[in-house]
Structure 1
Amino acid sequence: MTSPFDGLRFAFGTLTVFPVEVTRWDRRAARGGMLAAPVVGLVVGGCAAGLGLLLLRLGASPLLAAVASAAVPAVLTRGLHLDGLADTADGLGSGKPAEDALRIMKQSDIGPFGVLTLVLVLLAQVAALTQLYDASWALGALAAVVSATAARLALTLAARDGVPPARPEGLGAAVAGVVPVRGAVLAAVAVTLAAAAGGAWCGPYDAVRPVLAVLAALVAAELLLRHCTRRFGGVTGDVFGGLAETAATTALVVFCLGGQG
């Protein structure tokens, strides 16, 4: 039997640097772990928002608070999602057949497409958080939490039944197709409702803003997922990282649209 704690251990043990021992690596534990991925995002986002707010409280500028909030998810994931984003960009940008592109993604170095993508994504994240912290400390904190949670929700949806692995080994193969479609949909609904509830106390428009951010993040991640599945024949651990960073960045950008609510 698989307990809910097996899924949580799998999620925190594989998606963060927290010292959590993964006691089970079977498909059931992976299913529970991917369903629990948004919980990991909530914790990571809470840490990011907490550090940003602490710096603001100590008199730091919104820019410095934004840099700190963007850095926390990278630190708490050992930079794996950013590394996956860079590798995915190199694989897609190579224009080579799937087998060659996967080989490029597996190399330890980062190519020009990866470097450019990392720079642009991190700049977008910091710029968005700076604008939000400058407008309202609460809005900046909310965006940090929602974007991190939406990023991990994108992983839940990418691990749904019907999405194949591109390789027979690796983390991508371990979690590909483990989440029932119904479970993925329920997770998306739960996160969206929670985001709306969290935004309601910031103002009337801010009850809608996080919902739009989550939905846009999922659409962007889904488009990338489908493109990667066509190009590589399935998903890899790098693709999962790319999906998370794409979703997080999209959510932050959408938060900025429309000005202060």
Structure 2
Amino acid sequence: MNVRDYAGDVARAVGFLSRIPVPQRFFADHDGRMTRVAGAFPLAGVVIAIPPALAFWMLLALHADPMLAALIALAIQAVVTGLLHEDGLCDTADGLGGGRDREHALSIMRDSRIGTYGAAALIFSFGLRAAALAAIARGLPPAAAALCIPAAGALSRGGLVWHWFALPSARSDGVAAAAGKPDEAAVQVAIVSAGLLSAFLLWPAFPLPPVVAGLLVTAVCSQLATIQVRRRLSGHTGDTLGATQQICEIAALCTLAMAV
């Protein structure tokens, strides 16, 4: 894969994972499958995180309260992504929390209504990420704190790709099934790029141990989510991909917050 192909994959990944407008020419001859494009997810995660990271940096530079700045940054991120991953987290929490068995859980996950488990998961997701970002902002200069957002974006998309690759599709239809499954080369690119991008972004502010800890904790959380989904659903869905991304992003930010 050359640089031009990878740049095209990044553009398609940004279009798939967010509401950022992407020129139609990137999709003109594309079949919609993410088999190779998944390798560009970590870099796409960095691109998607630029608006909330810039807002977080500017607010902190203007001496805004760290928690206020964190919540505004997360709100901007929600607008940019269209709450794609948060929706998956809610549906997965409702399905795994309320499902009697595999089929019942999958049925619940198809329901667009949010239940108690999903509401609690959403509250904890925003609460934990906001608290972690506020803690990071209190211990680091504004620019360094802001770089934690794209670093977590890269790591969490790498965890998403691993979850996607490690499990078969739980359904014959749905977004994840239609998009295909990442091939081995794409997974390798995603994992390596997630580690390198996050290390590059975090290195100016963090010594090596916290950076390594963030990588390891994110990897462990992705694997634990995969094990649980395999046990309950025997495969992934688009919702479990989003849930894995959220779990990994929370894990990465909380690990960094504890290291400040």
Q: State the match for 1:15 in structure 2.
A: 17
* Residue 44 in structure 1 maps to residue 17 in structure 2: no
The count of residues paired between Structure 1 and Structure 2 equals 254
Amino acid at match of 2:50: G
Q: State the match for 1:68 in structure 2.
A: 72
Q: State the match for 2:130 in structure 1.
A: 126
Contact 1:8–1:36 (8 Å) recurs in 2: yes
Match of 2:117 among 113, 118, 131: 113
Q: Distance in 1 between matches of 2:11 and 2:200?
A: 27
Contact 2:36–2:186 (8 Å) recurs in 1: no
Q: Compare 147-156 and 119-128 and name the one that shifted more.
A: 147-156
Please, what TM-score do these two structures have when normalized by structure 2? 0.89
Q: Distance in 1 between matches of 2:234 and 2:62?
A: 49
Q: Distance in 2 between matches of 1:257 and 1:197?
A: 19
Q: CA RMSD in A?
A: 2.2
Q: Compare 136-145 and 117-126 and name the one that shifted more.
A: 136-145
Q: State the match for 1:212 in structure 2.
A: 213
Q: 1:145 to 1:6 in 2, by over 3 A?
A: closer
Q: 1:191 to 1:4 in 2, by over 3 A?
A: closer
Q: Distance in 2 between matches of 1:229 and 1:176?
A: 18
Q: Give every structure 1 segment of 4 or more consecutive aligned residues whose post-TM-superposition deviation is greater than 4 Å.
A: none
Please, what TM-score do these two structures have when normalized by structure 1? 0.89
Q: Distance in 1 between matches of 2:77 and 2:100?
A: 31
* Aligned counterparts, 1:80-99, within 5 A: 80-99=84-103
Q: Distance in 2 between matches of 1:244 and 1:107?
A: 21
* Aligned counterparts, 1:192-207, within 5 A: 192-203=195-206, 205=207, 207=208
* Structure 2: tracts of 5 or more residues without a match: none
* Residue 256 in structure 1 maps to residue 257 in structure 2: yes
Contact 1:158–1:176 (8 Å) recurs in 2: no
Contact 2:34–2:180 (8 Å) recurs in 1: no
**Identity, % of aligned positions:** 31
Q: State the match for 2:187 in structure 1.
A: 184
* Residue 104 in structure 1 maps to residue 108 in structure 2: yes
SS state at 1:26 partner = coil
SS state at 1:31 partner = coil
1:120-179 deviation per Cα after TM superposition (whole angstroms, max 9, x unaligned): 12110000000111111244212212111111111221232x521111112111345322
Higher relative contact order, structure no. (Cα contacts within 8 Å, ≥ 6 residues apart)? 2
